[in-house]
């Protein structure tokens, strides 16, 4: 399959007072369309910084980033926002749902930014929620849903725009082991539908669902290997 992400010699430095923190040190990674990749590393390894760069939430200090044929290495904030809305679906550990909005309204939100008309927004959001098994919870607000259901709403919201990649940041971090297994089963289903899935995690058992595992250490790729025995 074709290359969807090309990171070439990515460097990211942060200034903390008078100190320069070298968060990423010449990271080069290619990810193909349809891959299921886990990015692992201890705290301070650079995995969160790498996720922010891949997700166009931050720009590298140096290096080249090509996302689905766009060079996004040095785009303006407005252009990065457009890329994020059109190319990337985000799934967060803390769900990031609007508390006063229903599940349906939360899932419709990215479609508002995309300029989709109201009737079509509702149609697409209903389908996305149905796809994650929440057709009977669409009018519930987040505080009326379990943690697993809230994460399903977040997954539906991430998928509703049919993004190029799904980027999941510690997606099971706030869930118990049984619900985590259910969510990872849903990810496997999403991947089998042909979606590109990139997951940041520090948990070995969660990383083992992915078909490729990239390990970071001190801002560099320590190991990049195929997972010969993924859980799914």
Domain ranges of the chain: 35-61+75-226
pLDDT at 223 over 90: yes
Residue 24 in contact with residue 60, Cβ under 8 Å?
A: yes
Distance, CA of 35 to CA of 215 (rounded, Å): 16
The secondary structure of 41-100, three-state, reads CCCCCCHHHHHHHHCCCCCCCEEEEEECCEECCCCCHHHHHHHHHHHEEEEECCCCCCCC
Query: What tens digit of pLDDT does each residue of 113-163 get?
Result: 888 999 999 999 999 999 999 999 999 999 999 999 999 999 999 999 999
Report angle CA 135, 149, 85 to the nearest 5 degrees.
85
Q: What is the pLDDT of residue 2?
A: 87
Block residue for tokens 């990271």: 27
Query: What tens digit of pLDDT does each residue of 68-100 get?
Result: 988 998 788 888 888 888 899 999 888 899 999
CATH, domain 35-61+75-226, list 3.20.20.70, 1.20.1200.10, 2.40.240.10, 3.40.50.300: 3.40.50.300
Region of 150 on the Ramachandran plot (φ > 0 left; ψ -120 to 50 alpha; else beta): alpha
Of the pLDDT bands very low, low, confident and very high (cuts 50, 70, 90), residue 206 is very high
Query: What tens digit of pLDDT does each residue of 181-201 get?
Result: 999 999 999 999 999 999 999
- Taking residues 193-212, report their average pLDDT: 94
Q: What is the pLDDT of residue 1?
A: 63
Burial 136-147 (b: 16+ CB within 10 A, else e): ebbebebeebeb
Q: What is the pLDDT of residue 76?
A: 86
Residue 6: closest CA among 42, 60, 48, 43: 60
Strands 196-200 and 165-169, bridge-based pairing: parallel
Q: What is the pLDDT of residue 39?
A: 97
Block residue for tokens 């297994």: 181
Query: What tens digit of pLDDT does each residue of 6-34 get?
Result: 999 999 999 989 999 999 999 999 999 99
Q: What is the pLDDT of residue 82?
A: 87
Q: What is the pLDDT of residue 211?
A: 97
Q: What percent of the chain has pLDDT over 70?
A: 100
Distance, CA of 147 to CA of 142 (rounded, Å): 9
- Taking residues 208-216, report their average pLDDT: 97
């Amino acid at each position: 399959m074709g290359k969807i992400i090309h990171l070439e010699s990515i460097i990211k430095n942060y200034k903390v007072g008078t100190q320069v923190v070298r968060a990423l040190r010449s990271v080069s990674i290619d990810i193909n369309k349809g891959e299921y990749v886990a990015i692992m590393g201890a705290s301070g390894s650079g995995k969160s910084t790498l996720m922010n760069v891949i997700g166009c939430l931050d720009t590298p200090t140096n290096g080249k980033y090509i996302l689905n044929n766009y060079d996004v290495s040095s785009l303006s904030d407005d252009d990065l926002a457009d890329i994020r809305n059109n190319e990337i679906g985000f799934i967060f550990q803390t769900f990031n749902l609007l508390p006063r909005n229903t599940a349906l309204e939360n899932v419709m939100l990215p479609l508002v930014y995309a300029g989709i008309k109201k009737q079509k927004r509702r149609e697409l959001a209903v389908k996305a929620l149905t796809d994650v098994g929440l057709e009977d919870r669409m009018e519930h607000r987040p505080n009326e849903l379990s943690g697993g259901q809230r994460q399903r709403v977040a997954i539906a919201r991430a998928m509703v725009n049919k993004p190029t990649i799904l980027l999941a940041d510690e997606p099971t971090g706030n869930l118990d082991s049984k619900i985590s297994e259910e969510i990872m089963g849903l990810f496997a289903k999403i991947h089998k539908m042909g979606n590109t899935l990139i997951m940041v995690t520090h948990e070995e058992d969660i990383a083992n669902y992915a078909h490729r595992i990239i390990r970071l250490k001190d801002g560099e790729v320590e190991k990049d290997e195929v997972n010969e025995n993924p859980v799914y």
